[in-house]
Chains A and B, each alone.
Chain A
Amino acid sequence: MTELYDAPVAARDDNAPVIDAQDIRIWYGSERGPVKAVDGVSFSLRKGEILGLVGESGCGKSTIGRGLLGLLPPGAEMDGALRFKGEDLLALPKKEMFAKRGAELGMIFQEPLTRLNPLMRISEHFEETLRTHEKSIGKEEIQRRALEVLRLMGIPPTRYRSYPHEFSGGMRQRLMIALALVLRPAFVVADEPTTALDVLVEAQIIRILHSLRSEFETSLLLITHNLGIIAEACDRVAVMYAGEIVEIGDAREVFSDPQHPYTRELLRSTISLSTTGLNFIPGAPPDLVNPPTGCHFHPRCPDAMNICATRHPVQHAMPNGTRVQCWAADLAHGRAPDLTEDDTAPLVREEISVADEA
């Protein structure tokens, strides 16, 4: 898993990654032992790029988002290399990390109403945010900058002195985005930003997120369980399963030509307008205290071979440019020449009962 580099670290130029995460591991302590919520994840994001992180609940996608911003709860440990514009974030003292958060690293949360103070006007939210990072900023400058970013979110200036409860759900989420962007951070994590919203409002928010790159040149990590949102908003996509990225690449390629069986089955089980039959993945995601040996997905994988149950696959680049961690994909593209016939024989498993599914 050490060669998980998803892009070579380039010299300092415009193409250099804004965020470069290598072999990130995050554990939570539990009564039964450490929960390996994130287990060796690597990716990088360039300026103005949108990377979608998709997976089912419990796959570790939200944990990564929080880990990148240093917002892990007590009892969690993080390891690996995390560079923001070349600077090592994990080595940073707490105080400096605090100063970076908001100003350079932003976060957009799922439920806007719980993140806005009901007793503070919108103007006061902006004053607090801006004053925390720029102590000497004047009131007029605050208003100018706040109105500018509100305007881009489509919130009229007449509402600047309103309270959060006077806004609708979609407006509140736009306020959250405006508050995250008013400091012009170079990197923003958006954790399920549209899950609580209706489909028409969701589409409006996706459009706003999509336009961030041109307005703000922000790099965005968009965490969601909705494959449709990824397809519409993201440049690249990383598919997570049981704490690992199993496939990462250009969103178009991953959706039109998925290489990992999990990506393929996840796409097949999604109910869309073109669905004519129901497909699903048998079994349930594994317990992360004691994940399966070999490939974490092998107990549910329709393509599993003997090797999958014993040896962990390594991430390889596929001909279509995506990087995939799968023995079957390796075999199909000649990336695993040393496998024996026994290794590649179909894996014999106990049948998964209906009750274990879900």
Chain B
Amino acid sequence: MQTKRDVTATGESLVDIRDLEVHFELRGGMLKRLLGMDTGTVKAVDGVNISLKRGEVLGLVGESGSGKTTLGRAMLGLARSTKGSITYHERGGEGQTRERVVSQLKGADLRSLRTDLQMVFQDPNAALNPSMTIEAAVGHPLKIHGIAKGEDLRPRVAAALERVGLAPAEQFMSKYPADLSGGQKQRAVIARAIILDPEVLVADEPVSMLDMSVRAKILQLMVDLKKDLGLTYVYITHDLASAKFFCDRIAIMYLGRVVEIGPTEEIFADPKHPYTKALLKAIPEPDPNKMVPRDLPRGEIPDAAKPPLGCSFHPRCPEAVAECGWESRDLRVLLEEHWTRQETTSYEEEQALVGSLDRLDDPQKTVTLGSGADSARVRGLLDRIRQENPSEPLWSGVDEISETGDGVEVRFHQGFDPELRPSGGVEVACVLHPKPVTVEPFRPE
């Protein structure tokens, strides 16, 4: 059926993603919309640059809410980009390529793109129409793109099914999704994705809904297909273990950004971004000698509509320093954390002293706590909290605590948002990388 392409990663770009942003406007309430008030934006993908090389397996790894799925969907034009570009270098005859800017395509042009770029979805139960037979579902792309119809469909569907291990194909063609097991359904979904002979498969968590003993089978199938059909993969996953096995290159994503990208071996041998390190440590391994690590990042991935100032990982980062972008909301978390360690009576006392924490909810670099009358006691409280855990990274980001007439003013250090910079063989977005070079001051003899 399909012809084999040369498969080794050539270094030649197949898809170029430049400064890509996918922002979703929040609709907000009726009143806000009527008055035209700003309802906020979720920055699902916020400035991503990646080149997908021909023949490679690129992993997009991150927690839910990191933007990895949105990025994958944007590559197929399934999510509209609000800024930046995605360019697909389509292979024409005689080694020529034709550039197609995915982010500008519409209608029929966009649809025709999907003969070259296809997607495998996470949940095979939802990806297959329960009232379509496997034959109809797998043959559907051929009909939609007008490549085959009627008599010609059947042999091509049969070939695709056998290609993914659903053999003999006659046994499966007349079945409905409900008659198949989870792994068989995912095989059918993959058959539907490869029937158009695409160049790129975007696989969004293709094995995470499956049982442990089945995952390896589906991954093996994807490895075989890559070899036989010369596919290029984008493998979207939250599971670093399968990414380590499957990918040539890995991009670690956090809150819409790529925070670390590089060759798989290098990322695993020497993870640089504190988030990558944390993800690696947190993977539960079936090894009884490994215990749950103690120094895991606290909290969870923040609201993408209100990302933290500076580096978005800083509130959870165990290695954060002064420049990471400390702000009022971090102080709120610190106070709340302190109160989880206090008896109810002292909590109530301290809470009354500090006043409502709601004023810390808008990101600010300077905040005032308490009132003028209690400023000495509020300051005493902050000092006590600091003594409880002097190594808490937040304190490095506090420039000054002063008593003013209105209470205690806390001023945070000016932070900055690190860009991806080369460090060793990878690129990292972290103020700690590359390690700052200390220049010897010039000393005249």
Q: Which residues of A contact B (CB under 8 A)?
A: 56-57, 143-144, 147, 150-151, 154-159, 168-171, 198-204, 206-207, 210, 225-233, 251-252, 255-256, 265-267, 269-276, 278-281, 284, 353-355, 357-358
Q: By CB atoms of chain A within 10 A, which of B298, B337, B339 has the most?
A: B339
Of listed B288, B293, B344, residue having the most chain A CB within 10 A:
B288
User: In whole angstroms, what is the CA distance A267 to B286 when docked?
Assistant: 7
A275 touches B296 (CB 8 A): no
B241 contacts A275, C-beta separation under 8 Å: yes
Interface centre among A266, A353, A355 (most CB of B within 10 A): A355
Residue pair B347, A281 in contact (C-beta under 8 Å): no
Residue of B nearest to A156 (CB): B336
Question: Is B245 an interface residue when CB atoms closer than 8 A count as contact?
Answer: yes
- How far is it, in angstroms, between the C-alpha of A210 and the C-alpha of B292 when the chains are bound? 9
Q: Are B292 and A279 in contact (CB under 8 A)?
A: no
Among candidates A151, A204, A251, residue contacting B340 with C-beta atoms closer than 8 Å: A151
- Is B415's beta carbon under 8 Å from chain A? no
B310 interfacial contact with A, CB 8 Å: no
30 contacts between A and B (CB under 8 A): A157-B344, A157-B347, A168-B300, A171-B300, A198-B238, A199-B240, A200-B300, A202-B284, A203-B282, A203-B293, A207-B296, A227-B212, A231-B285, A232-B290, A232-B292, A267-B286, A269-B213, A270-B212, A271-B215, A271-B242, A272-B285, A275-B244, A275-B245, A278-B217, A278-B223, A280-B214, A280-B216, A284-B181, A355-B165, A358-B214
CA distance A232 to B292 in the complex (A): 6
Q: Which of A156, A225, A278, A284 contacts B216 (CB 8 A)?
A: A278
B278: nearest residue on chain A (CB-CB)? A200
Q: Is B220 an interface residue (CB 8 A)?
A: yes
Kindly list 19 other residue pairs between chains A and B, CB separation below 8 angstroms, not including A200-B282, A353-B167.
Answer: A56-B213, A150-B340, A154-B337, A169-B300, A198-B64, A198-B300, A199-B238, A199-B284, A206-B284, A228-B283, A255-B286, A269-B216, A271-B245, A273-B241, A273-B268, A278-B217, A279-B216, A280-B217, A357-B217
A277 to B: closest C-beta gap in Å: 9
In whole Å, how far is A177's beta carbon from the nearest beta carbon of chain B?
14
Q: Is the CB of B212 within 8 A of A200?
A: no
Q: Which residues of B contact A (CB under 8 A)?
A: 63-64, 165-168, 171-172, 181-184, 186-187, 210-220, 223, 238-242, 244-245, 268, 278-288, 290-293, 296-298, 300-301, 336-337, 339-341, 344, 347, 351, 357
Residue of A nearest to B240 (CB): A273
A200 touches B293 (CB 8 A): no
* Contact A156:B286 (CB < 8 A) given known A280-B217, A358-B218: no
> In the complex, A281 Cα to B168 Cα: how many Å?
21
Contact A56 B212 (CB under 8 A): yes
CB distance from A54 to the nearest CB of B (A): 9
User: A169 vs B286: C-alpha distance in the bound complex, in angstroms?
Assistant: 25
* Docked CA distance A352–B181 (Å): 15
Interface of A, secondary structure class, is: helix
CA distance A331 to B261 in the complex (A): 51
B292–A202 CB distance below 8 A: no
| Among A150, A232, A252: residue with most chain B CB under 10 A | A232
Contact between A156 and B339, CB atoms less than 8 A apart = yes
Would B165 and A354 count as touching, CB distance under 8 A? yes
Which residues of A lie under 8 Å from residue B245 when comparing CB positions?
271, 275-276, 278
Name the CB-closest residue of B to A281. Answer: B213
Interface pair B300/A201, CB less than 8 Å apart: yes
For residue B171, give the distance in angstroms from its CB to the closest CB of chain A. Answer: 7
A151: nearest chain-B partner, CB-CB: B340
CB contacts (< 8 Å) of A202 on chain B: these are 282, 284
Residues from chain B with Cβ under 8 Å of A226 in the complex: 212, 284
CB distance from B112 to the nearest CB of A (A): 33
B63 near A358: Cβ-Cβ < 8 Å: no
A220 to B278, CA, bound (A): 27
Which residues of B are found within 8 Å of A171, using beta-carbon distances? 300
Q: Chain A: which residue is nearest B275 at the CB level? A: A200
Q: In the complex, which residues of chain A have a beta carbon less than 8 angstroms from the beta carbon of B219? A: 271, 278
CB distance from A46 to the nearest CB of B (A): 19
Determine whether the beta carbon of A203 is less than 8 Å from that of B290: no
The answer for the CA separation of A353 and B169 in the assembled complex, in Å, is 12
In the complex, what's the smallest C-beta–C-beta distance from B213 to chain A, in angstroms?
Answer: 5
> Which residue, A143, A157, A225, A255, has most C-beta atoms of chain B within 10 A?
A157
**Are A272 and B217 closer than 8 Å at their CB atoms?**
no
Q: Is the CB of B351 within 8 A of A158?
A: yes
Could you tell me the distance between the alpha carbons of A17 and B216 in the complex, rounded to whole angstroms?
38
CA distance A206 to B282 in the complex (A): 10
Q: How far is the CA of A269 from the CA of B244 in the complex (A)?
A: 15
What's the Cα separation between A326 and B287 when bound, in Å?
A: 23
B283 vs chain A, min Cβ distance (A): 6
Residues of A within 8 A of B283 (CB): 199, 228, 272-273
Smallest Cβ-Cβ distance to A354: which chain B residue: B165
